Structure 1
Amino acid sequence: MRMVFRWYGEGNDRISLRHIKQIPGVEGIVWALHDVPAGEEWPMHRIDEVKEQADRYGFNIDVVESVNVHEDIKLGLPSRDQYIENYKRTIERLAKVGVKVICYNFMPVFDWTRTELFKELEDGSTAMFYEKAIVESIDPMELVEKISGNPNLSMPGWEPERLKHLSKLFDAYKNVAEEDLWQHLQYFLEQIIPVAEQHDIKMAIHPDDPPWSIFGLPRMITNQENMRKLLSLVDSPHHGITLCSGSLGSNPDNNVVEMIYEFAERIPFAHIRNVKIYENGDFIETSHRTSDGSLDVCGIVKAYHDIGFTGYARPDHGRHVFDEECRPGYGLYDRAMGIMYLWGIWDALERAKQEDAKC
């Protein structure tokens, strides 16, 4: 397991690379050019800038999250071909600086959905919260105003240039069924994966978050069966999954541990986090500790250890602790604690393996 840490870049993240360097076992940053609109080619000089910044601290930049997919590709519009060509050029440029994995998603309109960004927990920390009743009753524009209320910290998946056309996007998706979305994804993959193979980059799709339909929009990457269908669209080891325990695990019917064992060869990137699920369908993000949420984080890490996972992993959304002012879900302190919890489990499994070998 190769530990990495999501970083939003100089001038766009209150966390510095100097601070990330002090977290034991972190060898790389997970990055993106968040100000480049979806569909545009990433400029080579900007990519080189990030590499130079990471090199100063000895970090790799092997994982990019995300090269966003333009909505015209998801909608299957004639204009998609030009956006796909731009995507190919970006893959080629990322390969030049050693990128190994590109995380992306194919969620219509919203990359992820929460109803509250700083819900207080019993211990006084805060975390991102999903309230089912609100999502089922609120106007999407109200939610947009709530989520994007802090212009100083960009929220991935809630980019202003996309959301300002929200009503038009909803109209465009009225005639797009789930099966249509599958066909549009396959078209995209058939174009992209050969380029990824040529440059030895693994494309790793992120599951839908949450893994069910919201606001009547179609969803695809939601469960084990759908993930099998996904991987069958294009038969290539460069076509894989970013297995996010929190996204998939917010549905109690999903067994994340089983998914790790089944899709072991197609998981180049793992997001590990915990959520507490309520009987009414609400959920809140918690510390990574197993007993603080509804997911078996110990079992999840053990599954990765059992399969001999050598891919990249990062602590996903953390709480906001110690009065840290930070981007929702992406503070320094709780993610650092999460890393040490994950390493603690991993190291204990390694020790047990060594002891068994002596017997």
Structure 2
Amino acid sequence: MKMTMRWFGSKYDTVTLRQIRQTAYVKGVISTLYGKMPGEVWSAAEIKSLKDEVEEAGLTLDGIESVNVSDAIKTAGEGRDKDIDAYIQTLENLGKNDIHMVCYNFMPVFDWTRTELARVRPDGSTVMAYSQKAVDAIDPEKMFDSIAGDMNGTVMPGWEPERMARIKDLFKMYEGITEDALFGNLKYFLEAIMPVCDKYDIKMAIHPDDPSWSVFGLPRIITSLPNIQRMMKMVDNPHNGVTFCAGSYGTNPENDLPAMIRALKGRIHFAHVRNLQFNDGRNDFEEAAHLSSDGSFDMNAIVRALYDIGFEGPIRPDHGRMIWGEKAMPGYGLYDRALGAAYICGLWEAIEKSEAEK
């Protein structure tokens, strides 16, 4: 595996490339052209500029998270083929710049859902959290307003103000879209882009829905092992794979995370490793430190499963706590993610050395 960290670019991120390099554990970043809208072509020159900036800081650009998929593609709406053509051109330009992994999602309306961005934990750190009771009590059109004050002046992925201003129209677009229809639209998209992925060896790593069940009645499909296997079977190409996000799949306690990893050998192109603490079954959860004992997941078992399948792709610590007075994009500060990277690397080294001693 290669330890990385998500970085949103110098214009948007409170964390610098210089700081990331000084962690010692992190050797590369997963980044994006954050100002780009879905359906917009990323030029080869823009991609090269981003890559050059990362490499000048002594790091590598190990993938993109995300090249956003437009709602027209997800709903088979007007302009779908035009947006797919733009996506293919972007992939072509990424391939020409020697970038071979793209994380993306196929979630309707909200890329992820949290009801709190700064829940205070017993140790005084703050974390993102989800309460089903809060979701059930809120007008979905007011969802952005309920969390906007806790974004610390940042623009969070999937919650861009321009997008949230269209929330009513977005819900209307997804009226009548069933899970089967969403699967069909994903199949259409994947079949269209696989030729350029084959040409440039670009691994498409779909991110799971977060949380892993329907929110506000919207369809969710990347939620469980059977659904992932359905997706891979309907477009059976090794470039059609997954981002294994422990935190997203883990929102449903019925998902056996190590078993899922082993079942997906060869198709996990990217890994997000993080921990959650459940407070009331699956109805109330909050982010935790990466440390196993701070949450509900056996992090050693998760890392062990990745090691056992021979995972060699990029891995990153995921949502961190806000600690030590840091003010940053919720989930994406420097300090706790650096601790997470160190912890994951420690687990990996221990497993690696124990295997070598056998």
TM superposition score normalised by structure 1 = 0.97
Q: Deviations over 1:24-44 (max 9, x none)?
A: 232211101111111110133
Aligned residues: CA RMSD: 1.1
Tell me the CA shift for residue 165 of structure 1: 1.1
Same amino acid, percent of matched pairs? 47
Paired positions, count: 356
156-165 vs 85-94, which moves further: 156-165
Task: Give the match's secondary structure for 2:5.
Answer: strand
Once the two structures are superposed, the pairs formed by residues 225-236 of structure 1 within 5 Å of their partners are: 225-236=226-237
Q: Deviations over 1:243-285 (max 9, x none)?
A: 0000000110001100110001100100000001122510000
Tell me the CA shift for residue 97 of structure 1: 1.7
Cα distance in 2 between the residues matched to 1:242 and 1:147: 26
- In structure 2, relative to structure 1, the CA distance for the partners of 1:98 and 1:335 (3 Å cut) is same
- In structure 2, relative to structure 1, the CA distance for the partners of 1:151 and 1:282 (3 Å cut) is closer
Cα distance in 2 between the residues matched to 1:10 and 1:309: 30
Cα distance in 1 between the residues matched to 2:95 and 2:117: 35
- In structure 2, relative to structure 1, the CA distance for the partners of 1:58 and 1:263 (3 Å cut) is same
Cα distance in 2 between the residues matched to 1:52 and 1:328: 27
- Specify the code of the residue in structure 1 equivalent to 2:45: H
- Specify the code of the residue in structure 1 equivalent to 2:134: I
Tell me the CA shift for residue 225 of structure 1: 0.9
Which runs of no fewer than 5 residues in structure 2 stay unpaired?
Answer: none
Cα distance in 2 between the residues matched to 1:87 and 1:247: 25
2:16 corresponds to: 16
Tell me the CA shift for residue 4 of structure 1: 0.8
1:338 corresponds to: 340
2:35 corresponds to: 35
Q: Is the 8 A contact 2:197 2:203 kept in 1?
A: yes
Cα distance in 1 between the residues matched to 2:11 and 2:173: 35
Which runs of no fewer than 5 residues in structure 1 stay unpaired?
Answer: none
Task: Give the match's secondary structure for 2:112.
Answer: coil
Tell me the CA shift for residue 174 of structure 1: 1.4
Cα distance in 2 between the residues matched to 1:6 and 1:60: 12
Once the two structures are superposed, the pairs formed by residues 185-334 of structure 1 within 5 Å of their partners are: 185-280=186-281, 281-334=283-336
Deviating beyond 4 angstroms after TM superposition, the runs of 4 or more aligned structure 1 residues are none
Cα distance in 1 between the residues matched to 2:90 and 2:221: 25
Task: Give the match's secondary structure for 2:27.
Answer: strand
Once the two structures are superposed, the pairs formed by residues 63-82 of structure 1 within 5 Å of their partners are: 63-82=63-82
Once the two structures are superposed, the pairs formed by residues 173-184 of structure 1 within 5 Å of their partners are: 173-184=174-185
Tell me the CA shift for residue 151 of structure 1: 8.1
Q: Is the 8 A contact 2:101 2:269 kept in 1?
A: yes
1:47 corresponds to: 47
Q: Deviations over 1:207-230 (max 9, x none)?
A: 000000000100000111111101
Task: Give the match's secondary structure for 1:162.
Answer: helix
Which residue, out of 335, 354, 357, partners 1:355?
357
Cα distance in 2 between the residues matched to 1:43 and 1:148: 31
Cα distance in 1 between the residues matched to 2:233 and 2:224: 15
